Structure 1
Amino acid sequence: MTTWSWDPSLYSGSAAYYARGRAAYPQALADAVAAELELDGSGRLLDVGCGPGSLTLLLSGKVEEAVGLDADPDMLGEAARRASEAGIRTCRWVHRRAEELPADLGEFRLVTFAQSFHWLDRPRVAAAVHGMLAAGGACAHVHATTHQGAGDSAPPYDAITDLVRRHLGSVRRAGQGVLPGGTASGETEIYRAAGFRGPRRLEIPGAVVTRDVDDVVAAIFSLSSSAPHLFGGRLAEFETELRELLHEASPDGTFREQLREIAVDVWRP
């Protein structure tokens, strides 16, 4: 197995699980970004690596048009379904890799990366985004952990990690490759090399959430490191063992956990 490079199977089979298993971004996040950038319902948003539209939909009411871009068509299908259910008609969904930007998409008042930047050719994408911002625009990089929290009543995540390793091996999987050292960090230097100034950091407290067994199972399958396709013919066996582990930890099937705070780094061109 090779070390990691992007391939289309990264989140294969995860889209519906992602929408349920990841905790929703709070309204306070949208309000903080809107206040910082003085969003007034005009201008356009580009959410890069939008997944099922988790942030795109939340911010859509702050701009005239929101464009969600993702390389996974199933994620975009889930985003479009959620937008339709919510009656949101100001979103546009674009099936492209971020490395194809600017892709004739025009100028944007705000470009966002929410748990997506580390998967990209970061210098290339940052440089492209810098050139796509309208006068007075900004790029917002959202740091969040929405698939799990902590606390005495949280799911047994250490045991879940061990279970995944028993099925998939000790080295973290991602698509057709592996990530022995985890995902990339050091984005500050990359943004500055692309010509951005900052960042100015916004902080939003983490929420306490209550989740059931189905929510936690969805959270595990929402991860690139335990996406459904990785288990092959043993998917049902893994899910059975996962559910048994969760029911043993909480016979009533509920968990309560504290999510980490969300940080937003606002970069100006």
Structure 2
Amino acid sequence: MHHDPADLFASAAPYYARHRPGYDPRLYALLRVRRILHPAATVLDLGAGTGEIALTIAGDVAYVHAVDPETGMLAEGRRTGAERGITNITWTVGDSITLPDLNLPPIHVATIGKAFHWMNRAQTLTELDRIMTPDGTLLIVWDGYSDQRPRDPWEAIAANVRAQYLGPTRRADTTTYQHPEEGHEQLLTRSPFTDVEIRRWDRTIPRTLDDLIGLTFSFSFSTPALFGDRVNDYEADLRAALVAHQPDGQFTETIRTEVIIATRS
């Protein structure tokens, strides 16, 4: 069954904003201490989604240009920003390919979250080199679901229930996710941003049953739209399987936040 990508992401957006845990607070503390975030900085948050990064750093910088191709994600970010009284973020439809058309000002800090692996990474780095200030800093951030951190037992349960409805292959619509063969760090050695530092933080947070249901709906490979008219059946089966594993409905989630801090040498 074919789905409109906009519908897929729009159906995930409320769950993404509500149930994704956000990046580790120690990441933002580091960026403040290092003065990467400062009151004069203009930031590009590329692949901003619902504004997980943009909304968190808006109070630390002069301005944030939040750019994402999905209007549903941007609408959720814009709504949250308005609720919080944040006025220094522009929410713009665009992506790494359309960067030259966005007429952005000189960028001091560019942030890219989990979206980087979906981009033409080499082309994106070339475009960022063109618009960033000579002393600009590139931050590539990701979290939670890499093979390098411990797996929580509920993850296998959720994967099994999802496979019963969508098959064993993780996909978003007709696209099957394949992790890039070349890691981000290796790619950066051939880019303008060759001075690279990597930092990691691990944490475990409590999760309720409703949290985990919402979290699964936030993933590109299990958004509500993918299940169509079977979404309620999927949710019921997932709830039953998780309760059978943990009758009190109290779970934990193990999360690893990683950042590549890259500058020109």
The verdict on a shared fold, with TM-score over 0.5 as the criterion, is: yes
Shift of 1:53: 0.6
Question: Residue 119 in 1 paired to residue 114 in 2?
Answer: no
Return closer, same or farther for 1:128/1:209 CA change in 2, 3 Å cut-off: same
Question: Residue 194 in 1 paired to residue 191 in 2?
Answer: yes
1:101-116 alignment runs, 5 A limit: 101-102=99-100, 103-116=102-115
Q: C-alpha offsets along residues 206-230 of structure 1, whole Å, 9 cap, x if unaligned? A: 2221111111111101111111111
Shift of 1:191: 2.6
Corresponding residue to 1:67 among 65, 68, 73: 65
Unaligned segments of structure 1, at least 5 residues: none
Aligned residues: 261
Cα RMSD, aligned residues only: 2.5
- Quote the Cα distance in structure 2 between the aligned partners of 1:12 and 1:173: 16
Return closer, same or farther for 1:73/1:192 CA change in 2, 3 Å cut-off: same
- Quote the Cα distance in structure 2 between the aligned partners of 1:174 and 1:238: 17
For 2:224, the equivalent position in structure 1 comes to: 228
Question: Residue 263 in 1 paired to residue 258 in 2?
Answer: yes
Which range moves more in the overlay, 19-28 or 60-69?
19-28
Q: Report the 3-state secondary structure (helix = DSSP H, G, I; strand = E; otherwise coil) of the residue aligned with 2:9.
A: coil
Shift of 1:75: 0.7
Shift of 1:19: 1.2
Return closer, same or farther for 1:69/1:11 CA change in 2, 3 Å cut-off: same
Q: Report the 3-state secondary structure (helix = DSSP H, G, I; strand = E; otherwise coil) of the residue aligned with 1:156.
A: helix
Return the letter of the residue paired with 2:50.
Answer: P
- Quote the Cα distance in structure 1 between the aligned partners of 2:65 and 2:123: 20
1:92-241 alignment runs, 5 A limit: 92-102=90-100, 103-145=102-144, 154=152, 156-179=154-177, 181-182=178-179, 185-203=182-200, 205-241=201-237
Q: C-alpha offsets along residues 44-89 of structure 1, whole Å, 9 cap, x if unaligned? A: 1111111111111111122100111111111111111111222221
Q: C-alpha offsets along residues 152-209 of structure 1, whole Å, 9 cap, x if unaligned? A: xx55111211111111112221133223x44665223433333112211233x32221
Percent identity, aligned pairs only?
27
- Quote the Cα distance in structure 2 between the aligned partners of 1:247 and 1:73: 35
Return closer, same or farther for 1:146/1:161 CA change in 2, 3 Å cut-off: closer
For 1:14, the equivalent position in structure 2 comes to: 12
- Quote the Cα distance in structure 2 between the aligned partners of 1:121 and 1:8: 20
- Contact 1:60–1:90 (CA under 8 A) maintained in structure 2: yes
TM-score of the pair, normalised by structure 2? 0.89
- Contact 1:8–1:175 (CA under 8 A) maintained in structure 2: no
- Contact 2:49–2:74 (CA under 8 A) maintained in structure 1: yes
- Contact 2:8–2:225 (CA under 8 A) maintained in structure 1: no
- Quote the Cα distance in structure 2 between the aligned partners of 1:263 and 1:59: 17
- Quote the Cα distance in structure 2 between the aligned partners of 1:48 and 1:10: 19
Return closer, same or farther for 1:155/1:80 CA change in 2, 3 Å cut-off: farther
- Contact 1:32–1:202 (CA under 8 A) maintained in structure 2: no
- Contact 1:56–1:68 (CA under 8 A) maintained in structure 2: yes
Return closer, same or farther for 1:22/1:38 CA change in 2, 3 Å cut-off: closer
For 1:30, the equivalent position in structure 2 comes to: 28
- Quote the Cα distance in structure 2 between the aligned partners of 1:78 and 1:57: 11
For 1:50, the equivalent position in structure 2 comes to: 48
- Contact 2:6–2:71 (CA under 8 A) maintained in structure 1: no
Return closer, same or farther for 1:38/1:232 CA change in 2, 3 Å cut-off: closer
- Quote the Cα distance in structure 2 between the aligned partners of 1:9 and 1:178: 18
